[in-house]
Amino acid sequence: MSDTGSVKGWPCAESVPIDPQGYDHPVSTVRETGRVGAAVRDEFPILASKAYLNACSQGALSHRVRAAYEEYLAGWDAHGAEWEHWVERAEAARTAFSRLLHASPAEVAVTTSVSQGMSGVVSALDLGARPRIVISDYEFPTVGQIAHAQALRGAEIVHVRPGEGGIIPIDAFEEAIDERTALVCCTTISYRTGHRQDVAAIAAIAHERGALVLADSYQAVGAITLDAPALGVDFVTGGTVKYLLASAGLGFLYVREGLLPDLLPTQTGWFADEDIFRMDISDYSPAADARRFDAGTPPVPNIYAGVAGMSLVEETGVAAIEAHVRELNSRLIDGVVELSGTVVTPNEPARRGPLVCIASLDVESLVRELAGEGIVVSSRDGNLRVAAHLYNVEEDVDRLLAALAARRHLLA
Ligand SMILES: Cc1ncc(COP(=O)(O)O)c(C=O)c1O
């Protein structure tokens, strides 16, 4: 495949207009505006009535993403099956993911979920040679459950657990990773507590011992700079629901170029074939690049939405989003400390990302009461989860802090 996005076997893919709504950019011309907060709020209708601080669960819906869904439906109405265009959209998504990861499109598979990406990765492992899979205690359930499912193939699963302050010490990874280890899973940011792991340091240890490394970055992509090659990991996975401002049912898997072509997923499908339209059922001949981790028919409506959502993130610029959210989170953390509340997420900016978790004595009541005041947040493990994004402003944080002050009895 090329950077402009074409798939061998779709002869017309290049002839389809790539930019029907003017928000799809070739690799070199994404223009970052750095516009955050008040400057972008008009794009998100929900912000007219709510303090929406829930990007860790679902990013806010924008006019642009709604228009993308409508474009998909209008094209279907007007032309029936627009297969060439749909496939071109999937390639546009691959290219957008690759830009966000500072990688090449040839290193990115378009998936429906982290689950698909993780399943593809473990299906390619030789667990006979290296039976151990190491996972951090901060992995999302899908990563932990797929790892444990490999016990049926003879794998031994080892957990590394948090120590003081909820931080998983690098020493714990040192101890767990050995010459029998095939894969280390270290999520970039804990969905439960907001802790940010030192993925580059963990990758260095794993590689020293010949193990591969997967960083589930769903809680990071779109909100913090993620340079997959610079991190030194082998796989990065995530999706579009949260900080990429789009829909469920679209994700990505970055596969480090050097690993190809030796890594052969046995979880596969016809869109992973080297020549999709050969339609040959007599062998397994996967694509030479990371498309070998694609699977079946692409999730077309989600791809329309995903490309639109990612365009909003790219136009703002991830560095601007990261700086904006860091400031809002510092304001939030200072405010909670003033209330004598307990912030579970580390205060040190290098140890946190966009998600801040606050300990609560009755988090379900707290989330419900805040929702009653138009403040949308979520909960995990008894903690309140607050996740700001490019569209949030200081007033959102202050509104939340005032509501928490009025419910001090619900904070731990
Ligand atoms: C860290 C993390 N990984 C994975 C997922 C979801 O995985 P999947 O795309 O397989 O549903 C989520 C949230 O939904 C998440 O927060």
The pLDDT value given to residue 82:
87
Question: pTM of the entire structure?
Answer: 0.94
Amino acid at 383: N
Tokens of 216: 């589930």
Instruction: Yes or no: say if 132 and 147 are a contact pair by the CB < 8 Å rule.
Output: no
pLDDT band with cut points at 50, 70 and 90 for residue 126: very high
Measure the CA–CA gap between 254 and 293, rounded to whole angstroms: 9
What is the position in ligand 1's atom list of the atom closest to the CA of 113? 9
Ligand 1 pocket member 142 (CB < 6 A): yes
Closest atom of ligand 1 to CA, residue 189: 1
Distance CA 153, CA 137 (A): 22
| Cα–Cα distance for residue pair 69/249, rounded to 1 Å | 13
Query: At 336, phi and psi to the nearest 5?
Result: -70, -40
Alpha-carbon gap, residue 208 to 346, rounded angstroms: 29
Number of neighbouring beta carbons within 10 Å of residue 335? 18
| Mean model confidence pLDDT for the chain | 93
Instruction: For residues 52 and 287, give the distance between their C-alpha atoms in angstroms, rounded to a whole number.
Output: 41
Task: Identify the DSSP state of 267.
Answer: S
pLDDT tier at 14, thresholds 50, 70, 90:
very low
Please give the pLDDT value at position 26.
Answer: 43
Counting atoms of ligand 1 from 1, which one is nearest the CA of 187?
1
CA of 241 to the centre of ligand 1 (A): 9
Q: What are phi and psi of 41, to 5 degrees?
A: -65, -30
3-state secondary structure of 324: helix
Answer whether 216 contacts ligand 1 (Cβ < 6 A).
Answer: yes
Pairing of strands 378-380, 108-111: unpaired
Percent of the chain with pLDDT over 70: 93
Mutation choice for ligand 1 from 114, 118, 242, 302, CB with most ligand atoms inside 8 A: 114
Give residue-wise pLDDT tens across range 221-240.
999 999 999 999 999 999 99
In percent, how much of the chain has pLDDT > 90?
90
pLDDT 10s digits, 181-209: 999 999 999 999 999 999 999 999 999 99
pLDDT at 19 over 80: no
Cα–ligand 1 centroid distance for 371 (angstroms): 23
Any ligand 1 atom below 6 A from CB of 219: yes
Q: Is 187 in the pocket of ligand 1 (CB under 6 A)?
A: yes
Smallest CA separation from ligand 1 atom 14, residue: 57
What pLDDT score was predicted for residue 29? 63
Contact (Cβ atoms closer than 8 angstroms) between residue 33 and residue 315: yes
pLDDT at 117 over 50: yes
Tell me, in angstroms, the distance from the centre of ligand 1 to residue 250's CA. Answer: 11
